[in-house]
């Protein structure tokens, strides 16, 4: 599966690394380019912008908080770069208000939004043993199942 991954902090780096280990083609983006180096050495493509990383059929994000997620997806073009019927899997824990706004904005753009917060620590992200609770369209969930299996134990 070709996956865009946005947000390479302590959790996102491990998650993206496990996607690569599972054989997925991963394009990564992070505000700090330094965070992309180790993943590039593992075979990830490095996007020059969040919009470029978001131009895949499946886009996973692990951004720090509401402000970062809103900035990248709603204010700086990542959502607009996603094609019709693409799937955005948000792994960050965010406010209910932003989750509702994202669900509506994604629907307005013909993009599926999957809320999939993770439970675990950075060492669990690196080991692929996070717990993920995913909610969204049933077909979107089925499509992303291999990616979720690569980053989690259940």
| DSSP string computed for 88-125 | EEE-S---HHHHHHHHHHHHHTT-EEEE--EES-HHHH
Letter string b/e over residues 55-80, b meaning 16 or more CB atoms within 10 A of that residue's CB: bbebbbbbbeebebbbebbbeeebbe
SS3 127: helix
Instruction: Establish how many alpha carbons lie within 13 A of residue 53's alpha carbon, considering only the half-sphere containing its beta carbon.
Output: 28
pTM exceeds 0.75? yes
Quote the pLDDT of residue 154.
74
72-100 tens-digit pLDDT: 999 999 999 999 999 999 999 999 999 99
Give the model's confidence band at 119: pLDDT under 50 very low, under 70 low, under 90 confident, else very high.
very high
Give the model's confidence band at 148: pLDDT under 50 very low, under 70 low, under 90 confident, else very high.
very high
Q: Token pair for residue 46?
A: 């490095």
Q: Token pair for residue 10?
A: 């302590």
């Amino acid at each position: 599966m070709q996956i865009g991954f946005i947000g390479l902090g302590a959790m996102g780096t491990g998650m993206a690394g496990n996607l690569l280990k599972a054989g997925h083609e991963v394009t990564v983006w992070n505000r700090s380019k330094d965070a992309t180096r180790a993943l590039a050495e593992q075979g990830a493509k490095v996007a020059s912008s969040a919009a470029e990383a978001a131009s895949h059929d499946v886009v996973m994000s692990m951004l720090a908080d509401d402000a970062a997620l809103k900035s990248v997806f709603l204010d700086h073009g990542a959502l607009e770069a996603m094609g019709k019927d693409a799937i955005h899997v948000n792994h960050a824990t965010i406010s209910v208000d932003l989750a509702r706004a994202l669900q509506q904005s994604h629907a307005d753009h013909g993009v599926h939004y999957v809320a999939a917060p993770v439970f675990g620590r950075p060492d669990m992200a690196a080991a692929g043993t996070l717990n993920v609770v995913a909610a969204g369209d049933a077909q979107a969930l089925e499509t992303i199942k291999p990616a979720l299996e690569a980053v989690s134990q259940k």
